[in-house]
Amino acid sequence: MSVLTPRPSAYPSRVSAEPARLPRTDPVVWGTVDDGPLDEAALARFATSGYLTLDQLIDRDEVAALLREVDRLAADPALAGDERLILEPGSGEVRSVFELHVLSERFAELFAHPAVQAPVRQLLGSDVTIFQSRVNRKPGFRGREFSWHSDFETWHTEDGMPRPRAVSLSLALTENRSDNGSLMIIPGSQRTFVSCVGETPDDHYRESLRNQQYGVPDEESLVALVEAGGIETVTLTPGSGVLFDCNCMHGSNGNITPFGRCNVFVVFNSVDNPLEEPFGGTTPRPRFLAAR
C-alpha cells in the first residue's frame, strides 16, 4: 500500500478521526430556465430535494430492446473475464456491466439523446461528458441492501472530481417498487457534505464494488439529515428515470420480494469540472469507473 497524501479540498473526507457536516459551497442547479426543457418548478424541486423523476423517458419497445442489449452484453464471449463485468459471488451471474457507452452503440445513442442530455445540460449549466455508466441487475428474493452514501464523496476522494457538478440518471428497465429495494433518497442532503472518517487503501475498488467499506457516513450525520429531510423511496415504472445530484445521500434496502430490478445508471459530469488527481491521494481508479 502506498503512503497517501490527501490534497487540500473544500470537501475533505477520510482525513480526520472525526466526522463532520460541511455546507456545500457550490450550486445544485447551475443553469437557468432558459437553458433547457425543465421549467422553474422542476428546477426548484431539484434544487430543494436534489432529485427529479422523468416519466416515460423511453417507450416500452425501447425498454425491451435495452433489456435484450443487456442480455447480449452479459453473454458476450468477448467480454468473459472483463473487469467491466461484475459477477454475483455465488452464482457467477452477471450482476453489473460497466462502460455501457463504450461497449454498446445502443446505449451510447440513448445517453446522447436530447431527451436525456437536455435536462442534464440545463441542470449543470454546461456541456457534459459521461463519467461512468453501468447497468445493475438486482435479483429478487436475495437483493442486498446498499448503505447510505454520497457518490460525490467517493468521486472527489478517489477520482479527483473537483466539485459537485455532476448528475446521475437512473433509468428503470423493470419496475422499481416501494418494496423491492428501490432507491431511497434523503431530500435536501445534497446541500451538506458529510466528511467521513478513515483512510482509503489504494486499489481497493474491486472489493468496494461488492461491499462498501470506505467513505461511510456516520450515523449521527445520517440521523440529522433524515430529521431535516425525511426519506423518500423513488418508485419508477419501466422506461421512467430519476435524475439526482451527485452529493445526494442515498441507499437502498435489501429485497426479499420476487421482483428483481434492472436499472441503467449513467453519470454526466460538467465539461467545466474535469477530473484532477484524486483528493485522497490514491491512484486514480480505472476508466470504466471514472472516465477522464
Nearer to a second copy, 170 or 255 (CB): 255
Out of 93, 127, 207, 219, the residue judged to bind a second copy by CB under 8 A: 219
Out of 19, 27, 254, 286, the residue judged to bind a second copy by CB under 8 A: 254
Out of 47, 231, 283, 286, the residue judged to bind a second copy by CB under 8 A: 231
Out of 59, 141, 210, 287, the residue judged to bind a second copy by CB under 8 A: 141
Distance CA 273, CA 124 (A): 10
Q: Does 181 interact with a second copy (rule: CB under 8 A)?
A: yes
Q: Does 188 interact with a second copy (rule: CB under 8 A)?
A: no
Least distance (Å) between residue 256 CB and a second copy: 5
Least distance (Å) between residue 192 CB and a second copy: 15
Q: Does 251 interact with a second copy (rule: CB under 8 A)?
A: yes
Taken in order 143, 149, 155, 157, the sign of the CA dihedral is: negative
Least distance (Å) between residue 190 CB and a second copy: 18
CB 126 within 8 A of CB 271: yes
* Phi, psi (deg, nearest 5) at residue 233: -95, 125
Q: How many CB atoms lie within 10 A of CB 157?
A: 27
DSSP class of residue 2 equals: P
Least distance (Å) between residue 48 CB and a second copy: 20
The x, y and z cell numbers of residue 2, run together, are: 502506498
Give the C-alpha distances (Å, rounded to integers) separating 194 from 7, 200, 256. 17, 16, 30
Distance CA 126, CA 108 (A): 19
List interacting residues with a second copy (CB under 8 A): 141, 145-148, 178-179, 181, 184, 219, 222-223, 226, 231, 233, 251-258
